Structure 1
Amino acid sequence: FESATAGRRGTPALGSPTPAATPLPVGTAGTQVVTTDTVATYQAGPPQRPDIHHDNGFLQNPNDPNDRTPIATQSPGVGDYAARAEWEGRLAAGRAIQGVPGVPHNNIPDGLDTYDHFLHGNGADRHFSYERFVSTDPAGQAVLTNSTRDTQQGAEAYYNQLVANDPSLANRPVTFQITGSQIPVGSSEQFPYPETENWQKAIGGHNVWNSATVTVYPPEQPGGQPRFSMDMTLHAEDRYNFNPGQHDIATGAPDAANGRLERTGLGHQYTNYGTLQRQVTWTQGSPENAVSRPIGGR
């Protein structure tokens, strides 16, 4: 799906020059996009973060799984401080073996960074590279490909709505914005759980949502199809914490060991954020033949 052969940013189609006519801004913010073939729901307008609910792991209210306020922590004891020191040692040992051939767990740098922040970040938000996830884990590429296709379909659907309401728009370049609801990553074939130990540890299951500015150019030839150019941002979120009854996939270590650090305030849950941007160009009706490249030329 990714391609490095696209023309410079701003081109309306696969290598064709930008038409002289200035695209007309169209659409009304908040208008729902009517579509039956997308995973996300879309509306017109600038980026708008969906209401994403994150659990609180071992600090979740046991009487209300929907309570967004963590319960109070407990005072740590001597054994808790000893456990914290043991996990500090494991973190240091893990860093020491990164890149060492033949050693288990020798390629988990992002997983170690996220755990380091759990121990030392005091609960502050953290930003990570979703580009690295896409480039180093097959699941990341699948998420990017399928979420991009989903937003392409949303863009085509909204353009069709606009033209249905005002047929004259089909004869001139137009531009609009759309923003989507969250898509859960980790529980479907389209949006699979990370395959590598590194990203299983770093983000695991998470949520993504897309926003985009779309420009549509009328057909160059009679009977042709409109051409789409979409500047899309994928937004990712993950609550990093540990959960009762769960365990590490690669090692089998129970979450409860670090859950105790959460309960005593010796480790802190936090939210991971990541974004990436793509320019995507295609002809209406053929989103599978799109050309996509990173915005900024990377």
Structure 2
Amino acid sequence: MGTPITGSTPKKVTYRPPEDTSKTRTVAEKKPTVETPGDEFEKSRAEGRYPPVALNAAPPLPPDTGTTVPTNGTTSAKYQVGPARRPPIHHDNGFLQNPKDPKDPNPIATREPSFSDRLAKGKWAVKLEAARQFRPDLKDATDAYSHFLSGNGKDRTFDYERFVTQDESGKKVLKSATQDTQKAAEAQYAAMIAKDPSLAGKPVTFQITGGPIGVGGNDGKFPYPQTENWRKAIGGHSIWNSATVTVTPPTTPGGKPSFSMDMTVHAEDRYNFNPNQKDIDTGIPDSENGRFEQTGLAHQYTQTGSVQRKVGWSQGDIENATSTPINNGRG
């Protein structure tokens, strides 16, 4: 969440308590503008006087195979051959961003909170509870905001499956991500056959992993969340795809090879607030929550989610592919 300096887009959760005990809350969110993900990822801690928080570093990456999938500009992401490998993604630091360097991954120091700051946080905590009671449709948004207030900056996992099944934009994002990966799979298979024609008569299995794709930017295939809940919970964010692909030769002369792909869409977002921005639905300025970042009373954090699908299709017939969820142990 937060202004996209080189990737993540503005979002936030801002809650307004019910008017006369019945009015709806406000949940601050990201703006619908996303830029192409950059080349860095924040993972250092703020060296402030008030609880500095370490943003967890990404896990070690598998080796870079260096083998590029020759998609020739037909895909939104660039792909490589090999196991899932998180690409470089840059996130801003919201109100703790170095004003002299928008790409500085290190949050600036926090300041000591005043009585007024503490009182304001208490009021926002009440607004959060009001939103939970009167706006159950904002469940994912309120969960995200709650973690901002009390999660101490720890990484958080959110349910991306809910986004791609409940939000119309999410459905389009999943379809586009799937087709993007299918195109990469077909391109890699064609390159393998061109290099060794004998593979055309054998089952072949390979892995591919993709670069970052901005969700909520200028690419209409990956639109900004449509529902208020998801605008506030994640807003603009980044995704990257990985897959294991098996290609089976045709059973009849002149037939097309069959593709089976176990695909994962990985989503990533930085939840924070940003100077000179405001909530899309309520108009509340981000500064009302940004003060909590500046004083260490609340903390920005990185949140991730993923969805998995088994996809099957005949070569060249991407549009008519079948897609079913892969059980990932959530029941």
Question: TM above 0.5, one fold?
Answer: yes
The DSSP-based 3-state class of the residue aligned with 2:140 is helix
Q: Which amino acid aligns with 1:211?
A: S
Question: How do residues 191-206 of structure 1 correspond to structure 2 at under 5 angstroms?
Answer: 191-206=222-237
Residue 29 (1) aligns with residue 65 (2): yes
Partners of 1:110 and 1:65 lie apart in 2 by 29
Q: Which amino acid aligns with 1:209?
A: W
Partners of 2:320 and 2:261 lie apart in 1 by 14
Partners of 1:182 and 1:73 lie apart in 2 by 31
Residue-by-residue CA offset, 1:29-66 (whole Å, 9 max, x unaligned): 33101112000000000000000000000000000011
1:98 deviates by 3.0
1:189 deviates by 1.2
- Residue 78 of structure 1 corresponds to 115
Q: Which amino acid aligns with 1:116?
A: S
Residue 96 (1) aligns with residue 133 (2): yes
Partners of 1:278 and 1:29 lie apart in 2 by 24
Residue 225 (1) aligns with residue 256 (2): yes
CA RMSD of aligned residues (A): 1.2
Question: How do residues 142-161 of structure 1 correspond to structure 2 at under 5 angstroms?
Answer: 142-161=172-191
Residue 42 (1) aligns with residue 73 (2): no
Residue-by-residue CA offset, 1:219-268 (whole Å, 9 max, x unaligned): 11111111100000010000000011111111111101101110000110
Residue 214 (1) aligns with residue 228 (2): no
TM-score, normalised relative to structure 1: 0.87
Q: For 2:102, which of 65, 78, 89 is the aligned residue?
A: 65
Q: Which amino acid aligns with 1:215?
A: T
Paired residues of 1:186 and 1:192 also in contact (CA < 8 A): yes
Moved segments of 4+, more than 2 Å:
none
Partners of 1:218 and 1:118 lie apart in 2 by 51
TM-score, normalised relative to structure 2: 0.78
- Residue 5 of structure 1 corresponds to none
Q: For 1:186, which of 206, 212, 216 is the aligned residue?
A: 216
The DSSP-based 3-state class of the residue aligned with 1:236 is strand
The DSSP-based 3-state class of the residue aligned with 1:108 is helix
Specify the structure having the higher radius of gyration (Cα).
1
Question: How do residues 196-275 of structure 1 correspond to structure 2 at under 5 angstroms?
Answer: 196-275=227-306
Partners of 1:171 and 1:270 lie apart in 2 by 49
Residue-by-residue CA offset, 1:147-167 (whole Å, 9 max, x unaligned): 100000000000001110000
The DSSP-based 3-state class of the residue aligned with 1:122 is coil
1:175 deviates by 0.1
Partners of 1:160 and 1:30 lie apart in 2 by 18
Partners of 1:125 and 1:176 lie apart in 2 by 31
Q: Which amino acid aligns with 2:271?
A: Y
Q: For 1:113, which of 143, 147, 152 is the aligned residue?
A: 143
Q: Which amino acid aligns with 1:68?
A: P
Aligned length: 264
Residue-by-residue CA offset, 1:157-206 (whole Å, 9 max, x unaligned): 00001110000000000000000001000013110000100000000000
Structure 2: give runs of 5+ residues left out of the alignment: 1-63
